[in-house]
């Protein structure tokens, strides 16, 4: 009888601990608000909505969205992260003893976008400098929530075209893309798992909502604009986004 008296409180304590642990490790996804971004507002082309839902591995990524014709010829940029577009990062200068905005170039961040844009700076890199910064009309801070990008193409010359989306997040090492895989390559270390590239083809006559599909990853240090279709080494980077859709504004969803 005495044993039962001692055992019952222990069982109750164990039940409470299990209950508290299950609450603290809940896998219920955190809800994020949806931000709205505007680019190319004054353009006269096709009005588009790009709808981005963040994934469980989302942590301050850099992004770019652009348009090509159906043969892959670059047409124009719809959106690119401000730090890449301006050649300056918010935490780019520590000369005063604390992090301040300063010029930094990261060729490994969004190399497919950069090489398709095909503007070579005087130092041979394909990304803008502070002197050749891209206009505010197509740039913006990277949203940390879900977002809708409301944008326009410059003209309506093309009724069918491809929309590309590139995304990259630093510090996302995995068992293949380790922090010592290329120990002497400083550009690789700013990228970790390479940027991922998504694509969808849309048609102005059909005006359908399309999912952008993952088609490959970029070069690990940004020295080329090649898209590598083997994604077997990519892990958490696939979860930076949960879904990316593109549609004509007002089209059926």
d(CA 212, CA 162) in angstroms, rounded, equals: 10
How far is it, in rounded angstroms, from Cα 15 to Cα 11?
A: 6
Which residues, in sequence order, are CB contacts of 51 under 8 Å at separation 6+? 147, 148, 149, 243, 244, 245, 246, 247
Single pTM value for the model: 0.84
Give the pLDDT score at 103: 87
- The CB-side HSE value for 222 (13 A sphere, CA atoms) comes to 25
For strand 88-93 and strand 100-103, is the pairing parallel, antiparallel, or unpaired? antiparallel
Residue 250's pLDDT is 67
- Reading the block at residue 220, the tokens are 């690990």
Q: Mean pLDDT for each consecutive 10-residue tract of the chain (253 residues)?
A: 43 40 36 92 96 96 98 98 89 50 88 98 96 96 94 97 97 96 95 97 95 98 98 98 94 52
pLDDT tens digits, 43-81: 999 999 999 999 999 999 999 999 999 999 999 999 999
């Amino acid at each position: 009888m005495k044993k039962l008296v001692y055992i019952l409180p222990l069982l109750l304590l164990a039940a409470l601990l299990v209950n508290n642990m299950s609450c603290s490790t809940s896998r219920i996804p955190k809800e994020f608000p949806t931000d709205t971004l505007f680019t190319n507002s004054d353009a006269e082309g096709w009005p588009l909505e790009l709808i981005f839902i963040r994934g469980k591995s989302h942590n301050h990524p850099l992004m770019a969205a652009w348009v090509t014709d159906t043969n892959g010829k670059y047409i124009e940029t719809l959106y690119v992260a401000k730090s890449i577009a301006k050649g300056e990062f918010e935490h780019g200068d520590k000369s005063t003893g604390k992090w301040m905005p300063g010029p930094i170039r990261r060729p490994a961040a969004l190399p497919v976008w950069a090489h398709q844009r095909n503007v070579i700076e005087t130092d041979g890199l394909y990304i803008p400098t502070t002197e050749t910064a891209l206009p505010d009309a197509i740039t913006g801070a990277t949203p940390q929530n879900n977002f809708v990008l409301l944008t326009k193409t410059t003209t309506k010359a093309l009724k069918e075209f491809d929309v590309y989306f590139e995304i990259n997040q630093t510090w996302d090492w995995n068992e293949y893309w380790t922090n010592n895989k290329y120990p002497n390559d400083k550009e690789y270390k700013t990228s970790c798992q390479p940027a991922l590239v998504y694509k969808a083809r849309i048609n102005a006559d059909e005006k359908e909502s399309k999912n952008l599909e993952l088609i490959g990853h970029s070069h690990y240090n940004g020295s080329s604009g090649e898209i590598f279709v083997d994604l077997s080494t990519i892990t958490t980077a696939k979860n930076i986004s949960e879904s990316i859709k593109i549609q004509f504004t007002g089209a059926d969803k």
